[in-house]
Chain A
Amino acid sequence: MGKVVALEGNQAAALAMRQINPDVVAAYPITPQTEVVQEFSQFVADGLVDTELIAVESEHSAMSACIGASASGARVMTATSANGMALMWEVLYIAASARLPIVMALVNRALPGNINIHCDHSDSMGARDSGWLQLFSENSQEVYDNLIQAVRIAEHLDVRLPVMVCYDGFIISHAVECLEVLEDDIVRNFIGELEPVNPLLDTDRFITYGPLDLYDFYFEHKRQQMEVYPTAKQVIVGIGKEFGSLAGREYGLYEGYLLDDAELAIVTLGSSAGTAKEAVDHLRSDGLPVGMLKLRCFRPFPNTEIAQVLSRPKAIAVLDRSVSFGGFGGPLFTEIRSAMFENETSPHLLNYIYGLGGRDIDVEDIEGVYKDLQRVVDTGNVERIINYVGLRG
C-alpha cells in the first residue's frame, strides 16, 4: 500500500512523470496543462530526474521532438491541452503510424472558438482517429494510475503505440483530492526498462522512419496497423490486472457501477462518472433500477465488451462532453449505438450532450437524465434522441 497525499490532478500527473523518469520530455505550456510542465521542470532543475527537458516553441515542435526522441530509442512523455493538441494534429498521426510508444497527459479543454479554457472533450475526440490509444480518468487517482500503466501499455512489444491519458481540465487538473501514491522503486520496477525496437541510434543496423509510401504500399501499411488495436485491448486488460495486484486498484476497459441488474443505464467518460455514481446511489435508494458504465478506454473502442455489458438495460443514455457538428449525436453516442446494433435486445438509446466549455453537471442533472429514461421505458416513446443537459433556454 502506498501513502495518501493531497494533490491537484496536474501535480499527480507531474509526480507520476517524476517516478517514471522518462529519458526525454518535450512540451509547451498551455492552460490547463501548464502546471504539469511547470512542476516537472522543477524536478528536472532539482536533479530529481534524469530527463532531457526540451523547451520547444510550439506543440507541433513538441510532438515532433517526441517523435525523433522516441524513434531514437528513448522513453518519451509530453503533455498538452486543446489548441496545443490541435497544433500537434499532423504529427500525432506520424507518432502512431511509426508505432512510437510516446505517453501524453491530455488535460481536456474546449477547442475554440470562442476562446474557452475550461473542460470538454473536443480535443480528445478530434484525435480519436489518429491511431493513439486513449484512456480517460475519473479523478486524480486515475490520472496517476493511468499514466504509470500507459508506459507499460505503450511499450508492450505487442502494442508499440502512443497513449494519451485524458483528464478533465480544471475539474480534475486544478482541484486537490486525496490519492494513494506508490513508492518510487515500486513504480520503476513496474514499468521496467524500455526495450528499444528499431532505434535510429543503432549504428549497426540503419533504418528509415517515415519514408514515401504511395498507392503501392500505403494501404497495406494502414491495414496492418489496424491489426494491433484488438491486441492492445487485451494488453490494457492484462496490465490493469497486474497493476491491481500491485496497488490494490484494478483497471479494465470500463467500469460498471451497479450495472448487473440495471434497467436504466448511463454511459459516460471522465470526471462526470463520479457524479453519476452519487446519482445512482440516490435513485437506487428510491428503488429505481439504475446503473452506470464508465468507459476508461475509448481507443481502442471496446465494442463487443460494451454490447455485452449493456445487454440488459431497457433504456440507455450516452453522455457526450463534445459535439460532432453535422453528425448524428456526439462521438461517444455514435460509437455506442453502432456497438449495440448486433445485439439481440434493442434498448432505447438516447444521447445527452453536456458540459461544453466547462458547464457544470451536478447530481440533480444526472438524476434528471435517469428520470427521462424511466419515462421512455414507461411510455415506450422517445421524444428526442439527441438531448442537452445543463443548457439554458
Chain B
Amino acid sequence: MIELHNVSKSFGDTLAVDDISFTVPKGRFCALVGTSGCGKSTTLRMINRLTAHGGGEITLDGQVVAAYNPVQLRRRIGYVIQDTGLFPHWSVARNIGTVPRLLKWPVDQIRERVEELMQFLDLPVDAFAHKYPHQLSGGQAQRVGVARALAADPDILLMDEPFGALDPITREKLQSMLARLQARLHKTVVLVTHDMDEALRLADHLVVMRDGKIVQQGSPLALLQKPANDFVDSLLGGLERGLKQASLTRVRDHMAPLGPTLPAQSRVPDTYTLRQALSVMLRDHCERVTVVDKSDVPVGELSLRKLVKEAHAEQGHGRES
C-alpha cells in the first residue's frame, strides 16, 4: 500500500508538486495522468526516493519512506522508465538479473529467475539471453525493462511513461501484456502517463494532475461520467468521452439472451467492449449483432438501443482478463 499525505516538492522557487494526497491500496493499479511538466514524474520519483520530497509524508505499508535506507528501498521497488535505461554494455540476461545480483542471490537462482521472466514476457531465452540492448527493437527492449523491474519480485512497481516512445501497435501490445501480467501478479502499480487511453485501459484509479496539483481522482468510470472541469474533460477526449466510456465495459455484461427472431448476420465475441461492438454495427450497417463465445457459438444478442441505454449506467469491471 502506498499513501501520500499532503506531499509537496519545490525546485528552487518553482513548486513542482503542491500538496497532493492519494492512496494506492495493495494490488491496485494507479495511473498519474497529466500534460508534461505537471509534476507526475516527480511524484513517482519521490516514492522510491530518487527525489527527496519536501513537505508532507509518503508511506509504504504504513512506514514512512524517509525512514528507509534509500538503496534497500529501491531494491524492493520495481522501476521502469521511458528510455528503458537498459545498460548497453550488459546482455539481456545480465540486465534482467541486475537487482537479484545486487541482493546477492545465488547464481543458479538468478539464472532460473531470469529464464522464468524471459519466458513470461515472451522473450525466448535462446534467442535473446545473449543479445545486447542495441540489437533489440523498442518493444523488446521495454519488455526487458519490465522483466528487469520484476526480477526480485517486488510488491511495488513504478513505471514512468514506459510505453511513451513506442509506436502505436507495439504500445498496444505491451499494454495488453502489462494488463495480463497485472491480472496474474497483482502488484501495487503506479504508472505515469500522458496518454489517457492507456490510463483508462490499465488503471483502477486515476489521478489527474495539473501544475503540481491534483485536479481530480477516482475510478475511470467516475471520471468519465463526471469530469471535474474542462481540463479533465479535454484530457478524456471531450466529445469522444462517450466512446471511451463504452470501451470500459464488455459485451457479455450487457447482452440479451437469444431471442426468437433470426440471429443477426454480424457476430461479435463476448469479450469485445461495447465500443468495439458499436464499431461493428457502424461497419456492417446493422442495429443488432449476435454475441458468440470463444468457440464461435451464439450466446446472446445486443441491439443498438440496448447498447446506447446501458453504456452509461453500469460500472463494469471486466476489463482485460
Q: Do these two chains interact?
A: no
Q: Which residues of B contact A (CB under 8 A)?
A: none
Binding site for B on A (CB under 8 A): none
